[in-house]
Amino acid sequence: MSLLNKLEKIVHYFQPPQKTARVAKERLQIIIAHERQRDNPDYLTLMQKELLEVISKYVQINKDDIKIELDRKDGCSILELNIVLPASGVVA
């Protein structure tokens, strides 16, 4: 064992132990946020379908005319909804 190695061990001995609980919490927060997001798209497509149904009662549009996007910024989620309405095409 080199002198440097020994020294490192001695320094290590006097350092406070790493707080592993904090590491655990941080890792969990990241992975769980990720997994919740992955589980969610389900409801986005469902909502898109229902919106399409409601809107088609009043105007004629295609599935592609509705765009839903979920964005996460600075700890808050933004749901962006874009609907392209045809110039004319109001259902009587």
Partner 1 sequence: MAEVIVVTSGKGGVGKTTTSASLAVGLSNRGYKTVVIDFDIGLRNLDLIMGCERRVVYDFINVIRGEANLNQALIRDKHAKELYILPASQTRDKDALTQEGVQKVLDELQKTFDYIVCDSPAGIEHGAQMAMYFADHAVVVTNPEVSSVRDSDRMLGLLSSKTKRAEERREPVKEHLLITRYSPKRVTRGDMMSLEDVNEILAIPLLGVIPESQAVLRASNAGDPVILDEESDAGQAYADAIERFLGEDKPFRFVSEKVHWIKRLFSIKEKEHA
Q: Catalog residues that contact partner 1 under the rule CB under 8 A.
A: 17, 19-22, 24-25, 27-29, 31-32, 35-36, 39, 42
Structure tokens at 52: 């399409």
Closer to partner 1 by CB, 2 or 18: give it.
Answer: 18
Nearest distance, CB of residue 32 and partner 1, angstroms: 5
Nearest distance, CB of residue 18 and partner 1, angstroms: 8
3-state secondary structure 2-41: CHHHHHHHHHHHHCCCCCHHHHHHHHHHHHHHHHHHHHCH
Closer to partner 1 by CB, 8 or 26: give it.
Answer: 26
Closer to partner 1 by CB, 27 or 49: give it.
Answer: 27
Could you give phi then psi for residue 71, rounded to 5 degrees?
-125, 140
Nearest distance, CB of residue 90 and partner 1, angstroms: 31
| d(C-alpha 72, C-alpha 64), whole Å | 23
CB within 8 Å of 84: residues ≥ 6 apart: 61, 65, 66
Closer to partner 1 by CB, 45 or 62: give it.
Answer: 45
